[in-house]
C-alpha cells in the first residue's frame, strides 16, 4: 500500500464556523450523514459549504464491504418513522435546494428500506418546494417491487454505485453482485429515471477492466458518472493499490464523455455525493 497521500490530495484548512453549525443542526435532529459514517475526506469541505449527504435507516449496515467504514451488524432497529420529517427540517435549515439521501444497506427489511426512501422524498418535497432530490440506494437485493416503491416517489436522480470492476466485486462487495447492480440501474433507466453511478479507482483494476465497466454502465442506461480515488478507511480494509494521477482522471473524463455519458465528474477527490447538484446541472445543459 502506498505510504502517504500524494501532493494533489492536499487541501487548505477551512474555517470551522459553518461546519460546526451543520454538525450542530444534524445533532439537533438526530440525523446521520455518510460524510461521517464513511469517513469521507471531503466532509470538512462539504460542511464548510453547508452541505451534507444524509444517511437514513440508521448508522449500521447489514453488509460488510471491504472498502467501507460504516459499522455492520445483524440485528438492527426498525426504521424511525420520524426520520424523514426531521431530515426535511434539517435540509430546510441548511438552505439546501439539492438534497442527497443515501442509506445503510438493510437486507433485514422486507423492502430493503424502499418505503423509507419514498417517505423521505415526499417529506423533502412538502417542506422545500422546488427541491431536487437525489437518492443513492443500495441494490435492494435486486427486488424490482422494492425499486418500484422508490421510483414511484419520482426522485430527480436515482443513483446506485457499481463501486469497482467485475473481477474485484467478490473481494470489495462480497454480499453484492456486479450483474445485480447493473440490473438495478437498467431497470430504473427503463422506467424513465435519470440514472447515475460511480466507481472508485486505485483498488487494483486494470484500464481494460475499467473501460469494460464503463461500457456496461452505458449499456444499462447510466448517463451521470463519478470516478474518484479509493482511500482505505483503515489497514483492515481493502488496500489502495495505487494513486491515480489527476492527468489520468482527466483522460478518463474525456473517454467517458465519448462513450455517451452526459456528465462526468472524475478526479482524485471526487466522491459520489460531492457537488452532486453541480454534476446534474452540467448534465442538463449538455
The one-digit pLDDT tens for each residue of the chain (286 residues) are 455 778 776 666 555 545 566 767 777 778 877 655 445 555 555 554 556 789 999 989 999 898 888 888 888 999 999 999 999 999 999 899 999 999 999 999 999 999 999 999 999 999 999 999 999 999 999 999 999 999 999 999 999 999 999 999 999 999 999 999 999 999 999 999 999 999 999 999 999 999 999 999 999 999 999 999 999 888 889 999 999 999 999 999 999 999 999 999 999 989 888 778 888 888 776 5
User: What tens digit of pLDDT does each residue of 125-168 get?
Assistant: 999 999 999 999 999 999 999 999 999 999 999 999 999 999 99
- For the domain made up of 7-285, the CATH class stated in words is alpha beta
- Output the pLDDT for position 272: 85
Adjacent-strand bridge partners of 198: 226
- Three cell numbers at 158? 436515482
- Output the pLDDT for position 90: 92
User: What tens digit of pLDDT does each residue of 230-265 get?
Assistant: 998 888 899 999 999 999 999 999 999 999 999 999
Instruction: Give the start-to-end residue ranges of the domains of the chain.
Output: 7-285
- Output the pLDDT for position 50: 53
- Output the pLDDT for position 277: 85
- Output the pLDDT for position 116: 98
- Output the pLDDT for position 108: 96
- Output the pLDDT for position 281: 87
- Output the pLDDT for position 193: 98
CA distance 39 to 69: 7
Question: CB neighbours (10 Å) of residue 111?
Answer: 20
Amino acid at each position: 500500500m502506498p505510504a502517504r497521500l500524494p501532493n494533489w490530495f492536499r487541501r487548505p484548512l477551512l474555517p470551522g464556523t459553518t461546519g460546526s453549525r451543520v454538525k450542530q443542526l444534524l445533532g439537533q435532529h438526530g440525523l446521520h450523514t455518510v460524510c461521517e459514517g464513511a469517513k469521507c475526506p471531503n466532509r470538512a469541505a462539504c460542511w464548510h459549504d453547508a452541505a451534507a449527504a444524509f444517511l437514513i435507516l440508521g448508522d449500521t449496515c447489514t453488509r460488510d464491504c471491504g472498502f467501507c467504514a460504516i459499522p455492520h451488524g445483524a440485528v438492527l432497529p426498525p426504521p424511525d418513522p420520524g426520520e424523514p420529517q426531521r431530515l426535511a427540517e434539517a435540509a430546510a435549515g441548511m438552505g439546501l435546494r439539492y438534497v442527497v439521501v443515501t442509506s445503510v444497506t438493510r437486507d433485514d427489511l422486507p423492502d430493503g428500506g424502499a418505503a423509507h426512501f419514498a417517505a423521505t422524498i415526499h417529506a423533502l418535497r412538502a417542506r422545500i418546494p422546488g427541491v431536487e432530490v437525489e437518492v443513492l440506494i443500495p441494490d435492494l437485493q435486486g427486488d424490482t417491487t422494492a425499486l418500484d416503491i422508490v421510483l414511484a416517489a419520482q426522485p430527480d436522480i436515482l443513483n446506485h454505485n457499481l463501486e469497482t470492476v467485475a473481477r474485484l466485486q467478490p473481494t470489495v462487495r462480497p454480499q453484492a453482485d456486479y450483474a445485480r447492480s447493473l440490473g438495478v440501474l437498467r431497470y430504473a433507466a427503463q422506467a424513465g429515471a435519470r440514472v447515475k453511478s460511480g466507481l472508485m479507482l486505485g483498488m487494483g483494476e486494470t484500464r481494460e477492466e475499467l473501460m469494460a465497466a464503463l461500457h456496461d454502465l452505458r449499456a444499462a442506461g447510466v448517463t451521470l458518472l463519478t470516478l474518484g480515488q479509493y482511500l482505505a478507511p483503515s489497514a483492515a480494509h481493502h488496500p489502495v493499490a495505487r494513486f491515480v494521477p489527476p492527468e489520468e482522471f482527466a483522460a478518463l473524463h474525456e473517454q467517458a464523455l465519448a462513450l455517451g455519458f452526459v456528465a462526468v465528474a472524475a478526479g482524485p477527490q471526487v466522491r459520489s455525493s460531492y457537488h452532486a447538484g453541480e454534476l446534474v446541472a452540467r448534465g442538463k445543459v449538455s
